[in-house]
């Protein structure tokens, strides 16, 4: 370490460690979830103080490169999911395109009366019913996105009885009801995760998250789905291309 360099010591150590981590991941020597290092090991190797070592790991964790787990140490973090905001996408195909493995767990499938705000978004009558589908979406087996979707029951009768374990909602809409989604409007809002949300996503309460709302339409302009959910803030990265 160059103590005369204008770059702080923790930043110099971070540069070295990130470079080595990238090489180890590329070669297969390390994989997400593997043990990585400790503050004490960094102190011994680089001749730095415990405070500097802690700052280094804080920076690596904030960048999504490592995760620190009480009783286990510092682990190689799961890769963040990158999401561009310039085109319509489907969760499963988008995740798979990044070399990751998408899956989901159904938490609730039911026909319920639409709440006033849901009815307004979907242009439904005051007493109309919707299919409510609550899912926990996973990436590489790890909870990533807690999502609840509402779909007009009169447009999709019997949707609640379809095979939601193995088929995506959008596949069902296209093949069974001939109403594939073609466009949507999404709204993102940074939040602190509530206790129940944090529990299902496997993080601490009040961890950083991203609240998402999506209104999806079919080719005839009819609103066919209102989706609301929260993403883990430590696993997502949003990118906007402006032209």
Note the pLDDT tens digit of each residue in 109-164. Answer: 999 999 999 999 999 998 999 999 999 998 888 898 999 999 999 999 999 999 99
DSSP states along 79-118: PPEEEESSS---HHHHHHTTT--EEEEEEEEEEEEPPHHH
Categorize the per-residue pLDDT at 87 as very low, low, confident or very high, splitting at 50, 70 and 90: low
Categorize the per-residue pLDDT at 95 as very low, low, confident or very high, splitting at 50, 70 and 90: confident
Note the pLDDT tens digit of each residue in 37-52. Answer: 889 999 999 999 999 9
C-alpha–C-alpha distance, residues 59 and 11, integer Å: 8
Token reading at 133: 């589908």
| Cβ(205)–Cβ(194) below 8 Å | yes
Classify domain 81-239 at the CATH superfamily level: Chorismate lyase-like (3.40.1410.10)
Q: Please name which of 203, 179, 180 lies closest in space to residue 192, comparing C-alpha atoms.
A: 203
Question: Is this structure's pTM higher than 0.85?
Answer: no
Domain 9-76, architecture per CATH: Orthogonal Bundle (1.10)
Write down the domain spans for the chain: 9-76, 81-239
């Amino acid at each position: 370490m160059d103590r005369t360099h204008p770059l702080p010591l923790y930043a110099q150590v971070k540069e070295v460690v990130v470079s080595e981590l990238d090489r180890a991941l590329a070669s297969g020597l390390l994989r997400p979830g593997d043990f990585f290092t400790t503050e004490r090991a960094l102190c011994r190797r680089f001749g730095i103080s415990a405070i500097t070592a802690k700052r280094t790991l804080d920076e690596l964790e904030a960048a999504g490169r490592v995760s620190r787990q009480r009783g286990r140490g510092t682990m190689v973090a799961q890769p963040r999911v990158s999401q561009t905001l310039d085109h319509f996408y489907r969760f499963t195909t988008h995740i798979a395109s990044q070399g990751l493995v998408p899956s989901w767990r159904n938490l609730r499938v039911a026909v319920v009366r639409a709440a006033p705000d849901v009815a307004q978004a979907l242009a439904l009558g005051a007493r109309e019913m919707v299919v409510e589908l609550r899912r926990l979406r996973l990436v590489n087996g790890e909870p990533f996105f807690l999502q609840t979707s509402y779909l007009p029951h009169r447009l999709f009768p019997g949707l609640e009885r379809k095979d939601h374990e193995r088929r995506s909602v959008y596949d069902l809409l296209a093949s069974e009801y001939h109403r594939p989604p073609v466009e949507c409007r999404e709204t993102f809002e940074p939040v602190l995760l509530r206790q129940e949300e944090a529990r299902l996503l496997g993080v601490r309460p009040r961890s950083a998250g991203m609240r998402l709302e999506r209104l999806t339409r079919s080719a005839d302009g009819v609103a066919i789905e209102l989706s609301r959910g929260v993403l883990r803030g430590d696993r997502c990265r949003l990118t906007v291309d402006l032209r």
